[in-house]
């Protein structure tokens, strides 16, 4: 199955936002804060304004009424006792800067080169303040405050409970207690963000090209802020070079300011983020510290979990509690956990804003649970795979209600699943038994340090509220599908085409999908939370079914045959058993749109239908990752020898696309586990704001991923599908930690943190070995 979009991408014809060039276009550069935390005294832009080639320079003061904090994008779910302090980001800093890279002034010039020249002319007088960096220190009495109007740096506090953990603990054979850390990472899409805007005074229409995952909410928001009709604003998310979360409807300062400047100046304006800006200004994820405890029975059955964690939300919290609630809910994994007590505090710090990045906090929960099970297995003398098997939910336990609230404000209920066979299949593919029994002892005897890791996970996917699609059969017989979600490489052009092609009996290549242009379709939310195929795919399916009905109506009259006797195939409708009766969909489309004569009252023209789909709640995918690694204890370098993923995302529309999502996710996960860490110093300065020092895994760092699929359909949508966009990235850290720990078992290294750089692993080996450079094996 070839992708419909590939020819354009492979030949350089695909349009990305930065490719938009319009006569007279102006270019923007932002002056950004060098300080993590400072009072802004004065911002003097007079010299910058005088520089030749500079058209305008704006500060907060120049924005007038347009200056206002951004919207709260995701209000917190209805959880009893929840505390949430909303502090959303500002278009340009006014009195205070709260993280390095926060925009202070906007320079508009004839070229980006000139705009950057003018940044040097802007004089900022800032009084540095002590920075809030560490989440624990942030909560200490007397800590400096990120937001002065709040009594502390607490952004939110949430407690969720299931059953009585205290009682479960009292009856436990053992309790396993550890502190876990999972540090920050960048989404690092290879395409940086970009926004271009053009006001057409004749049509009175504003066109905005935006690297967003959610063009419709951006259109609606911009129209409202700029005082325009929604129909006067057209937002286009053309080809987008990777999203991974931060390109969601953030209403980033740049997203608000570029259209504003285009209107104000009456000239097209473009800003393209450079890589350095991306490290400061695009949202980030992954800073949590968990204190977790597992109560376990002698036979390895989980009795309960208690977890108290701190979540670093950065300087503002426009995205609400999605990330920590994902961590909280995903921790339970595929397991039968009778009691659960989870408490988190989200903390403001002087760092870049935290919002979902591929996995969106789920990996933190999985890491905590999987590591606790590993330590429990060791303590109880139970095999690591076996302790998991004993705790997996059984098929008859679905739908399974975990009795807590998920990020979509609905109760956390798993729709369907069949977990044990996935574990067995992963063990079989990686050869777990043979490895543990024969291979590992043999290699160890030869002085090699190899280890295996096997971890399970679930992924809440495909949440609401809804998406829509319009399907149209054109007179050419080709089919147009328009939907509102943006696409960032997932293959929606092909997956949606497949869904529609199957219903209408046409060739996939005859189905033309349009996404991400609000002029084509303007109801919907966006691409996030592994929901594109589930929610928009289901809407495409529903619209295609409605069009099919119309096709059958028109064909039935035309062919004078009963609808039930008709069949759709190869772009034609024919009477079953009468091949000569075939009439093409194109002909029927013409008949459905007569230009003369009368139609029956109530007839709608054309072969077209629009439909919407909104799931009652998210569907829960699941899977197992297994890895074999080899560690060189002398250099602390780790090589991944094999990586197996068994994934169940319900019905698979296109295995090629699903495998692609998983392979990319695993690469992202390996990055998080071993290479990628945003390193902030104690003053809130990011120390690796470039691809020289922020290390994305390359082709030599990522192993081939062996994948297998299981298909337990979701009852929550007609296609039976579940999402897959984040699955590869979620359990990777946990699998990696277990495998490395296993490889170094004779050193007694315990891994409770991710990412794990060679430098850190060297420290752990040295500490475990106690003395001797690089440590020495215990046995």
Partner 1 sequence: MKDRVAAQMTVNGVPCERAVEPRLLLSDFLRYELGLTGTHVGCEHGVCGACTVLLDGEAVRSCLMFAIQADGHEVTTVEGLAPDGGGAGSESLHPLQAAFREAHALQCGFCTPGILMTLVPFLRDHPSPNEREIREALSGNLCRCTGYQNIVAAVKLACDAPPPPPPSPSLRR
Partner 2 sequence: MIVEGTFTFQGPRETVWELLQNPDVLVKVLPGAKRLVRAGEDRFDGVMQVGVGPVTAAEFTVSVMLKDKVPPQYYAMEVDSKGTLGFTRGSARVALEVLADGGTLMKYTAELQVGGKIAGVGQRLLDQVAKLMTRQGLEALNKELRARLAGGSSR
Partner 3 sequence: MKPAAFEYHRPDTLDEALALLAARAGEAKPLAGGQSLIPAMNFRLARPGVLVDLNRLAELAYVRPAEGGLRIGAMTRQRVVERSSAVQGAAPLLAEALPFVAHPQIRNRGTVGGSLAHADPAAELPAVMVALAARFEARSRSGSRTIPAAEFFTGLFGTALAPDELLVEIALPPLPARSATAFLEVARRHGDYALVGVAAVVTLDERGRCREARITLLSVGGGPVLAAEAARVLAGQTPSEDVVRAAAEAAATRDADPPSDIHASAGYRRHLAAVLTRRALVRAFERAGHVA
User: Is residue 689 part of the contact set for partner 2 (CB under 8 A)?
Assistant: yes
User: Is residue 53 part of the contact set for partner 3 (CB under 8 A)?
Assistant: no
- CA torsion, points 457, 462, 464, 466, in degrees to nearest 10? 180
User: Is residue 274 part of the contact set for partner 2 (CB under 8 A)?
Assistant: no
| # chain residues binding partner 3, by CB under 8 A | 30
Rank residues 397 and 698 by Cβ distance to partner 3 and give the closer one: 698
Given a contact cutoff of 8 angstroms between Cβ atoms, the answer to whether 100 and 48 are in contact is no
Residue 191 near which of partner 2, partner 1, partner 3, none (CB within 5-8 Å, type-dependent)? partner 1
Q: How far is the CB of 30 from partner 3 (least distance, A)?
A: 13
User: Is residue 704 part of the contact set for partner 3 (CB under 8 A)?
Assistant: no
User: Is residue 34 part of the contact set for partner 2 (CB under 8 A)?
Assistant: yes
Exactly one of 7, 15, 616, 687 binds partner 2 (CB under 8 A); that residue is 687
| # chain residues binding partner 2, by CB under 8 A | 21
Residue 117 near which of partner 3, partner 1, partner 2, none (CB within 5-8 Å, type-dependent)? partner 3
Backbone angles phi, psi at 48, to 5 degrees: -65, -40
Q: How far is the CB of 718 from partner 1 (least distance, A)?
A: 26
Residue 509 near which of partner 3, partner 1, partner 2, none (CB within 5-8 Å, type-dependent)? none
Residue 685 near which of partner 3, partner 2, partner 1, none (CB within 5-8 Å, type-dependent)? partner 2
387 vs 476: CA distance, rounded Å: 59
**Residue 161: how many other CB atoms lie within 10 Å:** 15
**Would you give the binding string for partner 2 spanning residues 99-138, x where CB under 8 A is met?**
-x------------------xx-------x----------
User: Is residue 117 part of the contact set for partner 3 (CB under 8 A)?
Assistant: yes
User: Is residue 170 part of the contact set for partner 3 (CB under 8 A)?
Assistant: no
156 vs 284: CA distance, rounded Å: 18
Residue 634 near which of partner 3, partner 2, partner 1, none (CB within 5-8 Å, type-dependent)? partner 3
Half-sphere CA count of 690, side-chain side, radius 13 A: 2
Q: Which residue has the tokens 């076996």?
A: 386
**Of 507, 529, 503, 525, which is closest to residue 516 (Cα–Cα)?**
525
127 vs 136: CA distance, rounded Å: 25
Given a contact cutoff of 8 angstroms between Cβ atoms, the answer to whether 493 and 482 are in contact is no
DSSP notation for 645-677:
EEEE-BS-S-HHHHHHHHHHHHHHHHIIIII--
Exactly one of 675, 707, 727, 730 binds partner 3 (CB under 8 A); that residue is 675
Rank residues 46 and 203 by Cβ distance to partner 2 and give the closer one: 46
User: Is residue 685 part of the contact set for partner 2 (CB under 8 A)?
Assistant: yes
Given a contact cutoff of 8 angstroms between Cβ atoms, the answer to whether 529 and 325 are in contact is no
User: Is residue 34 part of the contact set for partner 3 (CB under 8 A)?
Assistant: no
User: Is residue 685 part of the contact set for partner 3 (CB under 8 A)?
Assistant: no
501 vs 550: CA distance, rounded Å: 15
Q: Where are any strands of DSSP class E within 495-605?
A: 511-515, 566-569, 572-575, 578-584
User: Is residue 762 part of the contact set for partner 3 (CB under 8 A)?
Assistant: yes
Exactly one of 19, 62, 701, 750 binds partner 3 (CB under 8 A); that residue is 701
Query: 381: part of which helix (H) or strand (E)?
Result: none
Please, which residues have CB within 8 angstroms of residue 509's CB and are 6 or more apart in sequence? Answer: 2, 4, 497
Ramachandran region, residue 244 (left: φ > 0; alpha: ψ -120 to 50; beta: rest):
left
Exactly one of 88, 276, 745, 767 binds partner 3 (CB under 8 A); that residue is 276
Give ∠ CA 276-105-53 in degrees, rounded to 5.
90
Exactly one of 88, 152, 276, 767 binds partner 2 (CB under 8 A); that residue is 276
Exactly one of 560, 602, 700, 779 binds partner 3 (CB under 8 A); that residue is 700
Q: How far is the CB of 634 from partner 3 (least distance, A)?
A: 5
Adjacent-strand bridge partners of 305: 294, 340
Given a contact cutoff of 8 angstroms between Cβ atoms, the answer to whether 435 and 452 are in contact is yes
Rank residues 80 and 692 by Cβ distance to partner 2 and give the closer one: 692
Please, which residues have CB within 8 angstroms of residue 205's CB and are 6 or more apart in sequence? Answer: 199, 232, 233, 234
The site for partner 2 (CB under 8 A) is made up of 34-36, 100, 119-120, 128, 276, 279-280, 679, 681, 683, 685-690, 692-693
The site for partner 3 (CB under 8 A) is made up of 112-113, 116-117, 274-276, 634-637, 675, 679, 687-688, 690, 692-693, 695, 697-698, 700-701, 757-759, 762-763, 773-774
């Amino acid at each position: 199955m070839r992708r419909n979009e590939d020819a354009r991408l492979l030949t350089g014809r695909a349009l990305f936002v930065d490719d938009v060039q319009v006569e007279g276009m102006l270019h923007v550069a932002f002056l950004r804060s060098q300080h993590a935390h400072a009072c802004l005294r004065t911002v003097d832009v007079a010299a910058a304004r005088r520089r030749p080639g500079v058209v305008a320079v704006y500060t907060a003061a120049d924005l007038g009424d347009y200056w206002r904090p951004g919207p709260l994008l995701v209000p917190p779910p209805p959880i009893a006792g929840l505390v949430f302090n909303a502090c959303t980001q500002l278009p340009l800093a006014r009195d205070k800067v709260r993280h390095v890279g926060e925009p202070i002034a906007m320079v508009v010039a004839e070229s980006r080169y000139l705009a950057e020249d003018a940044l040097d002319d802007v004089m900022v007088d800032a009084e540095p303040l002590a920075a809030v960096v560490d989440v624990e220190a942030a909560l200490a009495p007397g800590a400096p405050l990120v937001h002065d109007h709040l009594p502390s740096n607490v952004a939110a506090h949430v407690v969720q409970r299931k059953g009585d953990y205290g009682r479960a603990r009292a009856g436990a054979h053992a309790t396993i207690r550890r502190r876990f850390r999972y540090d920050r990472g960048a989404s690092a899409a290879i395409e940086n963000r970009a926004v271009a805007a053009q006001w057409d005074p004749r049509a009175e229409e504003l066109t905005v090209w935006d690297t967003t995952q959610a063009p419709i909410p951006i259109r609606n928001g911009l129209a409202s802020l700029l005082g325009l009709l929604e129909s006067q604003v057209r937002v286009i998310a053309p080809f987008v070079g990777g999203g991974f979360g931060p390109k969601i409807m953030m209403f980033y300062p740049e997203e608000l300011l570029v259209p504003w400047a285009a209107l104000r100046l009456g000239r097209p304006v473009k800003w393209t983020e450079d890589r350095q800006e991306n490290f400061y200004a695009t949202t980030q994820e992954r800073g949590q510290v968990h204190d977790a405890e597992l109560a376990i029975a002698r036979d390895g059955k989980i009795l309960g979990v208690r977890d108290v964690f701190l979540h670093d939300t950065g300087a503002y919290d426009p995205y609400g509690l999605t990330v920590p609630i994902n961590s909280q809910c995903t921790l339970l994994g595929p397991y039968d956990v009778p009691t659960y007590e989870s408490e988190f505090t989200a903390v403001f710090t002087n760092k870049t804003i935290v919002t979902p990045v591929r996995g969106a906090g789920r990996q933190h929960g999985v890491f905590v649970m999987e590591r606790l099970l590993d330590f429990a297995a060791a303590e109880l003398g139970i095999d690591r795979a076996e302790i998991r098997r004993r705790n997996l939910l059984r098929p008859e336990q679905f739908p399974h209600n975990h009795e807590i609230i998920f990020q979509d404000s609905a109760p956390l209920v798993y729709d369907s699943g069949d977990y044990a066979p996935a574990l067995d299949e992963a063990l079989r593919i990686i050869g777990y038994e043979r490895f543990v029994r024969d291979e590992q002892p043999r290699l160890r005897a030869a002085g090699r340090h190899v280890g295996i890791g096997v971890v399970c996970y679930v992924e809440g996917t495909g949440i609401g509220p809804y998406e829509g699609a319009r399907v149209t059969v054109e007179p050419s017989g080709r089919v147009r599908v328009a939907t509102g979600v943006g696409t960032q490489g997932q293959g929606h052009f092909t997956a949606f085409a497949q869904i529609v092609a199957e219903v209408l009996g046409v060739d996939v290549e005859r189905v033309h999908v349009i996404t991400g242009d609000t002029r084509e379709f303007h109801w919907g939310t966006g691409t996030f939370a592994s929901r594109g195929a589930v929610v928009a795919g289901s809407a495409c399916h529903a619209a295609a079914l409605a069009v099919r009905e119309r096709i059958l109506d028109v064909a039935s009259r035309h062919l004078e045959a009963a609808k039930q006797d008709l069949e759709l195939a190869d772009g034609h409708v024919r009477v079953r058993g009468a091949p000569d009766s075939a009439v093409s969909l194109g002909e029927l489309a013409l008949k459905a749109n007569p230009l003369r004569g009368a139609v029956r009252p109530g007839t709608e023209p054309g072969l077209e239908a629009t439909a919407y789909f909104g799931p009652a709640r998210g569907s829960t995918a699941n899977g197992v990752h297994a890895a074999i690694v080899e560690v060189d204890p002398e250099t602390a370098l780790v090589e991944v020898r094999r990586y197996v993923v068994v994934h169940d995302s319900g019905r698979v529309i296109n295995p090629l696309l699903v495998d692609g999502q998983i392979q990319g996710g695993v690469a992202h996960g390996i990055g998080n586990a071993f290479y990628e860490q945003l390193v902030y110093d104690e003053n809130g300065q990011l120390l690796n704001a470039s691809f020289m020092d922020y290390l994305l895994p390359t082709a030599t760092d990522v192993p081939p991923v062996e994948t297998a699929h299981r298909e337990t359909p979701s009852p929550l949508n007609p296609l039976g599908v579940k999402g897959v966009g984040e699955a590869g990235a979620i359990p990777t850290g946990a699998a990696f930690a277990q495998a490395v720990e296993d490889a170094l078992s004779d050193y007694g290294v315990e891994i409770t943190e991710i990412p794990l750089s060679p430098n850190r692993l060297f420290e752990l080996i040295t500490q475990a070995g106690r003395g001797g450079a690089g440590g020495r094996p215990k046995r």
